[in-house]
Amino acid sequence: MDLISQNHNNKNPNTTLSTQHASSPPPSSRYENQKRRDWNTFCQYLRNHRPPLSPPSCSGAHVLEFLRYLDQFGKTKVHHQNCAFFGLPNPPAPCPCPLRQAWGSLDALIGRLRAAYEENGGAPDTSPFGSRSVRIFLREIRDFQAKSRGVSYEKKRKRVNNKQITQSPSQPPLPPQPLEQQQQGQSMMANYHHGAT
């Protein structure tokens, strides 16, 4: 009986899988995979550059060239200032304005490249991805796209629970509202939002 159960355990697919997974490295996350692809793309861009460059020899100016190169593959409509749809979040008709890389995509890309640069031996204080010119460029892109597309890129505030109200430390805490007043306030806000749209 022992011999049969040992043979049965050895042929158990779950046992085989668990030993295979234990010996292989854990799968990379989506972020890690994307970071690796972005780094490889940037390094390929540097190799194709005239003259060819290596990551340690590139500057913020080369990073800006790379971002401008990527713009041709963008999918976000960015209206010119003289376009009739400038500032409209949902234009009613098509226009000839160009497609660009969205600011959020560029910002995330720079974050991943900055991390990859450091993982590949680059010093954080010499990273071309953290240079002043790149930060200014991203801020200008964000501001122009916000105006062009009628979209706000303001940082979102954390939601505060209805019972937690921000006060200055010198004020005494507010007394809790009865349930009726809370519901009345919520229905008034719902009516306000429906009337505004």
Among 106, 128, 131, 103, which residue's Cα sits nearest to residue 117? 128
Domain ranges of the chain: 29-149
pLDDT digits (tens, 9 = 90+) for 87-102: 988 888 999 999 999 9
d(CA 130, CA 134): 7
Q: Give how far Cα 15 sits from Cα of 5, 53, 168, 197, Å.
A: 13, 50, 60, 59
**Span 1-24, average pLDDT:** 45
pLDDT digits (tens, 9 = 90+) for 183-197: 444 444 443 334 443
Amino acid type, 5:
S
Yes or no: say if 127 and 66 are a contact pair by the CB < 8 Å rule: no
pTM above 0.85, yes or no: no
Dihedrals phi, psi of 77, to nearest 5 degrees: -70, 120
d(CA 62, CA 4): 67
d(CA 58, CA 48): 13
